[in-house]
Amino acid sequence: MRGLLALELSSDPCSLALLCEDGRRLTRSFVGERGRALLHEIDTLFKDAQLEPSQLAGVIVGVGPGSYTGLRIACTAARTLAYALHVPTGGISSFDAAMEDGVETHIVLDAYRGEVYHGVGIAEQNHVTIMQTPRVCTIEELRPRLADKKVICDARLFDALADFDPASYTPTAARLLQLACARGVSIDGHGIDALNPAEPLYLRAAAFRPNT
Amino acid sequence: MSPPDEALILGIESSCDETAAAVVRGGREALSSVVHSQIAEHAEWGGVVPEIAGRSHLRAIVPAIEEALTEANCHPQDLSGIAVTTRPGLLGSLLVGVTAAKSLAWAWQKPLIPVHHIEAHAYAALMSVDHWEFPYITLVVSGGHTSLFRTESPLAHALLGTTRDDAAGEALDKAAAMLNLGYPGGPAIQKAATDGDPKAYAFKRPMLGPNSLEFSFSGMKTAILYKLKGPGGRREEPTLPESQNLPGMAASFEAAVMDTLIRKCLRAAQQYNIPRILVGGGVACNQRLRVDMASAAEKNGVQAIFARAEHCTDNAVMIAGLGYAHLQQHETADLLLDVAAS
């Protein structure tokens, strides 16, 4: 018996999902304290599934955009578990895991410094077509594009985007697993290598010089 | 203290701008030591940029661990525990190392051992001593820390004094930046000071009262700023005119910082009647500190013991070493282990 693990820590609530060889799907979620909680949650998930760490088949991680700290914790865990247990790891955009079915969806997250992360796509069951890869822009330049569109945003932007009746942004690890399987990942981990690397989607330089 | 056995500990260090992993046997013998330095990545900014550090740690952590185990010819089943720095440091940096350590501890079902970074620097000095004679006066001095302790065992350190403002290494960094000597400042100042007269320029040694064991380096930083701005602060930017003496300025500033450290150590040794001083941390690499401390200590009947040069800057040997001492006392953590900035 083996299990595929998915981690989504780019925003709150964070979530984990485990797909077992016998078809069982187990999930857990938690809020905040990602660094403190993650491995404890993984341990609990495996115990609930009655799996040993050595039965891990692969790790899929949501690579953002989102909390840099959350992404680094998730990617560090994914890469280290992959190394320690000789299993593959790969990433999927967290935006992919939040696209709505059958409708052009604009995802807008607060990127601080007066900017937002913005991406556009459409899901058809477990396939996602990306129409705008995630980028950084301002709400002002984005507004004209959002009229009559499905808008999903994080809680910090609800007021600013109230005109567009936004829905809540909730990418989940369970959805990452669905997408991974649709992209050819099998329960024994084959196909994970063909996903994106387990590397945070930062979208911004690590350091910048303020304009003077 | 029970004698060291053959237990192998994997140490992981990521508290600031070095990603390090090492395997140590019996708390003493380093079988491997891998340090991925980020100095080049931060140099452009004149100091450590936390976001650059966090990104770099993520890139380097697994390769560093893999290299340390390979170099030590160590297999996971050989390990008795995974030791990791949990505090103090940059939160984003600490989280990478601790998450990696927790992942390994879970995957390999090994004890997880939290280690205090400053105590590990003290342990680095202990690693250069064959026979321990507690207690010691311990100075840990680096770019982030300047503290004096009374050390009763590898795991027991009573704080005697710390800096009220800047760390000694931070003062060296800032002075080096003002003198356009580059980053990191400690080695740059030492190099520039090589042929300089340490009495060329006057810098006060802040003693903070006759019995104080605390430090303060911000005044020295201001003093060099005023010297570089000229009388009445006539130069807008701090610069050393060509007519002035760069080696002398560097040597004078370096000597002032090191003299202050030495005097405080000897004061602590005298106050507590402990004739043994341990010195660890990045600034412990400084040659003036090593030579002048040894000389002053000898004159005062005190033994000064420095960490080996390769164990002064951040490294994982000291983490694995102290991790072994913790393991002997069954001081391990569960998977809810967290990090702390201070």
Task: Give A194→chain B minimum CA distance, Å.
Answer: 20
Radius of gyration of chain B (CA): 20
Is there a contact between A207 and B52 if contact means CB atoms under 8 Å apart? yes
Query: How confident is the prediction for chain B on average, in pLDDT?
Result: 94
Share of chain A above pLDDT 70, in %: 98
**CB A42 within 8 Å of CB A74:** no
Q: Which residue has the higher pLDDT, A208 or A86?
A: A86
**CB A14 within 8 Å of CB A31:** yes
Share of chain B above pLDDT 70, in %: 98
**At A165, phi and psi to the nearest 5?**
50, 60
| pLDDT tops 80 at residue B4 | no
Give the DSSP letter of residue A177: H
| Model confidence pLDDT, tens digit, residues B15-67 | 999 999 999 999 999 999 999 999 999 988 888 999 999 999 999 999 999 99
Is there a contact between B336 and A38 if contact means CB atoms under 8 Å apart? no
Domains defined along chain B, listed by start: 8-122+314-328 (3.30.420.40), 129-216+245-306 (3.30.420.40)
What number is the average pLDDT over the span A68-82? 98
Query: What pLDDT, on a 0 to 100 scale, did the predictor assign at position B243?
Result: 66
**At A105, phi and psi to the nearest 5?**
-115, 130
| pLDDT tops 70 at residue B90 | yes
| Model confidence pLDDT, tens digit, residues A117-137 | 999 999 999 999 999 999 999
Q: Tokens 């005023």, residue?
A: B226
Domains A3-94+171-194 and A99-168 share a fold: yes
Reported confidence tier of residue B3, pLDDT bands at 50, 70, 90:
very low
Task: Quote the Cα angle for B254-B256-B262, to 5°.
Answer: 100
**CB B258 within 8 Å of CB B292:** yes
Give the closest of A35, A43, A206 to B95, CB-based: A35
Alpha-carbon span A27 to A15, nearest angstrom: 7
Task: Give B77→chain A minimum CA distance, Å.
Answer: 11
Query: How confident is the prediction for chain A on average, in pLDDT?
Result: 96
* In chain B, alpha helices (H): 39-43, 50-71, 91-108, 117-126, 168-178, 185-192, 218-229, 246-272, 287-299, 317-328
| pLDDT tops 60 at residue A143 | yes
- Out of A71-80, B130-139, B204-213, least confident range: B204-213
| pLDDT tops 90 at residue A14 | yes
ipTM confidence score: 0.97
pTM over 0.90: yes
Task: Give B62→chain A minimum CA distance, Å.
Answer: 6
Query: What pLDDT, on a 0 to 100 scale, did the predictor assign at position B239?
Result: 73
Is there a contact between A42 and B106 if contact means CB atoms under 8 Å apart? yes
**CB A39 within 8 Å of CB A77:** yes
Reported confidence tier of residue B323, pLDDT bands at 50, 70, 90:
very high
Q: How many other CB atoms sit within 10 Å of the CB of residue B1? A: 9
Hey, which CATH number is domain A99-168, 3.90.1150.10, 3.40.1160.10, 3.40.50.300, 3.30.420.40?
Answer: 3.30.420.40
| pLDDT tops 70 at residue B1 | no
Where in chain A are the domains? 3-94+171-194, 99-168
Secondary-structure class of domain A3-94+171-194 per CATH: alpha beta
What number is the average pLDDT over the span B273-301? 97
| pLDDT tops 60 at residue B2 | no
Closest of A2, A19, A7 to residue A57, by C-alpha: A2
Reported confidence tier of residue B207, pLDDT bands at 50, 70, 90:
confident
Cα distances from B210 to residues B207, B231, B264, in angstroms, run: 7, 31, 10
Element (H, E) at A58: strand A56-62
Give the closest of B55, B91, B99 to A77, CB-based: B99
